[in-house]
A and B are shown apart, each in its own frame.
Chain A
Amino acid sequence: AQRVTQPEKLLSVFKGAPVELKCNYSYSGSPELFWYVQYSRQRLQLLLRHISRESIKGFTADLNKGETSFHLKKPFAQEEDSAMYYCALSAFYTGGFKTIFGAGTRLFVKA
């Protein structure tokens, strides 16, 4: 079954501390993975996708196929990083492909 698991509902860190938001996936094929973010009173938006190997707002994510993980990391958290973060997987099905989401992790960065 295709599934995205985010084990932490809430992650609280101090400003300047490193942060890691965990994501594990279950998918039989080659995964395409994403992180989406929702800031307070804003729409859900794409943060980064693994294919681009990019760093956005200091965040990076590495695909580990052996551990079926795609954890999101930032070395020094900022208060403006406080938001809901959703890991997502684009999965094939008979009609094409679709994006499925994990339950999300709320990141709270304390001053």
Chain B
Amino acid sequence: DTGVSQDPRHKITKRGQNVTFRCDPISEHNRLYWYRQTLGQGPEFLTYFQNEAQLEKSRLLSDRFSAERPKGSFSTLEIQRTEQGDSAMYLCASSSGGRGRNEKLFFGSGTQLSVL
């Protein structure tokens, strides 16, 4: 499967613990997005990378959230001191960016986080 892959698929953690998720985009894609989705809502934009540069971070993202994309390849999203409100599906998407705003996003299967 050469699509976007995310790991793990599911994560259960206790409140206050740190968690890290990984996203491997399609290899030639230079743009990478993180979204968060809760029940009954659409994907909410969290942050976005163009190669290794993090170009925007949503106000939804508190200081407990950090994302990296070293060398412009895979990306990690870390949540420190998790809270129950962090429970959600975390989606990663990538695109080649070749068509500008008409880019097609390719999504991963997501990581379902449950904070107990």
Contacts and interface: CB of A to CB of B under 8 A. Distances in A.
Nearest to A41: B109
Contact of B40 (A86, A90, A103): A103
Contacts of A96: 48, 50, 55-56
Contact of B104 (A46, A86, A100): A46
Contacts of A4: 42
B48 A49 contact: no
Interface string B76-116: 00000000000000010100000011111111111000000
Contacts, number: 57
A98 B102 contact: no
Contact of A104 (B42, B48, B108): B42
Interface string B10-26: 00000000000000000
A51 B102 contact: yes
Interface of B: 3, 33, 35, 40-45, 48, 50, 55-56, 91, 93, 100-110
Interface of A: 4, 6, 9, 32, 36, 43-46, 49, 51, 86, 90, 92-93, 95-104
